[in-house]
Structure 1
Amino acid sequence: MPVREYNELKLWQRRTGRESLFHWLLWLTGVAIFAYSWQQISAATTWFFVWDAPRIASDIWTRATPPRWSYISQLGKPIWDTLNIATLGTIIALILAVPVAFAAARNTTPSKLFIRPVALLIIVSTRSINSLIWALLLIAIIGPGVFAGVVAIAIRSIGFCAKLLYEAIEEIDETQVEAISATGASRWQIMAYGIVPQILPAFAGIAVFRWDINIRESTVLGLVGAGGIGLQLSSSLNVLAWPQVSLILLVILLAVVISEWVSAKVRGAII
């Protein structure tokens, strides 16, 4: 750090003059970008509705309370469908993610030049598109219903599970693999006895974590026709049945809290 002398008094400075100038230029650039972005957002915003939002929210709250408790009898099957969508989608994704992960990991891929790039492309492409978009595409292909929701959740989860799993594979202890290789074991025996036991805890944690996420995602797939409790929510919103909407939101919240508790207990048991 530079030191300046003023009347034989040495003063410490955090940055040089050039560094300070560069620092302030960064701040000015950030402020300019923020001001420009705010100008664009402001021009595209109807501020009358924004200022009127508290009154609208209060009116909706008044209409939505108390919840219509008698409607709870019609939510049993939809919430069960939602749980099935999340569970089946997670299982399918895990089955498909395992070979993709082994193909993507540097230490297990059969070919770093051809197979690994394809596996990485699958991981990136499935993770980059939201489950709602997948659901819309699948509904157009196979029609609305629970099956479209299951496939949408599965496709969306493949990249997530495969990415975390192939990273766990690359971080294994190679000494165990080398010890098994020294015995003359085949490639499949090395994988079964040297790699799989090391990644099983990570695999179990990934499975539970992704299932917890899929519970949340599956609750809204019904908004686009992919089944589950989101379908009931969409129907109630369309007819402005606010007491039913508030009850459905409470049921979704309860399902998410229970899934979070279950996943936390399972992860705690695994770790």
Structure 2
Amino acid sequence: MPVQIVDSRPVWQRHTRTQQWAIWAGWFALVLATVWCWQVMNRGTIWAFVDDAPRQASDLLSRAWPPRWSYMDRLWQPLWDTLNIATLGTLLGIVIAVPIAFLAASNTTPSKSLLRPFALFVIVASRSINSLIWALLLVAIIGPGLLAGIMAIAFRSIGFIGKLLYEAIEEVDTSQVEAVAATGASRMQTMDYAIVPQILPAFAGISVFRWDINIRESTILGLVGAGGIGVQLESSLARLAWSEITVIFAVILVTVVFSEWISGKVRHAII
């Protein structure tokens, strides 16, 4: 039943017959969509494999345990490469995303008809393509290695940082902007003294949060040749060395947890 607030008190009202039929029609459509999705899933599923899944999982775990901890000696350098990919990619993404964000924000862009649509397009294009796809494209263009991974992380970060930052710019306190502009400050001086100080905490939090995400994403870029610990993961998968894969998964898990801890501490200190 819909609720109206009268004199700070909720007043319940009965649905009209049209509203009741609309609700029942919505539930009926939901049931039809559920049945249709179930049929589509059944057509695309080989249930014999599903029935055999517990046995296959048990067999895989028996081959993956115990972990081959001696393999750790070969993971230190790839792990360091992964951290460099995430860090340098984040920094490069920040350098590109900051001006893009100022061009995309309606209150700082010098051209709402030309530059703002271009900046918004860059942000949308960056966010639309996964970092793994960026890495695949860049490996094909510039070859395998860390550079492709760094650029893939950067291109993916532009959209994330740019979108959140330009929204923060548009939400600044306009009274401070008007006060600085009233002193006769130029456009750049107004941005420096009225806008930038307001968005610095948000900018720092966004950057650290994106670095935390990039740590996770950079661990798999090696699957397409973009360097990092993913190269070792792909090699172990190709050899079906499941005890080595267990070690790699453990290293990735510890790295992600550590980066999450650092990210949380930094954001708490800043914000």
| TM-score normalised by length of structure 2 | 0.94
Look up the match of 2:100.
100
SS for the counterpart of 2:219 is: helix
**Runs of 4+ residues over 4 Å off in structure 1:** none
Residue in 2 aligned with 1:76? 76
Alignment of 1:251-270 (within 5 A): 251-270=251-270
User: CA offsets, 1:21-41, max 9 Å, x none?
Assistant: 111111111111121122112
Q: Report sequence identity in percent.
A: 65
Per the alignment, residue 154 of structure 2 pairs with 154
What residue number does 1:200 align with? 200
* Cα distance in 1 between the residues matched to 2:14 and 2:164: 41
> 2:35 is matched by which residue type in structure 1?
A
Aligned to 1:25: 25
In the alignment, is residue 122 of structure 1 matched against residue 122 of structure 2? yes
The answer for the alignment partner of 2:6 in structure 1 is none
Structure 2: tracts of 5 or more residues without a match: 3-11
Provide, for residues 173-230 of structure 1, a one-character-per-residue CA deviation record: whole Å limited to 9, x for no partner.
1111111111111111111111111100000000000000000000011111111001
Q: Post-superposition shift, 1:76?
A: 0.2
Separation in structure 1 between the aligned mates of residue 146 and residue 57 of structure 2, nearest angstrom: 32
- 2:91 is the alignment partner of 1:91: yes
Displacement of 1:51 in angstroms is 1.4
Q: Residue deviations 1:50-98, cap 9 Å, x none? A: 1111111111111111110000000000010100000000000000000
- Structure 1 residue 13: deviation in Å? 7.0
After superposition, residues 106-145 of structure 1 pair within 5 angstroms as 106-145=106-145
User: What is the deviation of 1:14?
Assistant: 4.1
What is the Cα deviation at residue 17 of structure 1?
A: 2.2
Q: Post-superposition shift, 1:15?
A: 2.2
Specify every segment of 5 or more residues in structure 1 that has no aligned partner in the other structure, as ranges: 3-11
Q: Calculate the TM-score normalised by the size of structure 1.
A: 0.94
What value does the CA root-mean-square deviation take over the aligned residues?
A: 1.3
Task: Give 1:16 deviation, angstroms.
Answer: 2.3
* Aligned mates of 1:248, 1:68 — CA distance in 2: 10
Indicate the SS of the match to 1:52. helix
CA distance, structure 2, for counterparts of residue 147 and residue 117 of structure 1:
29
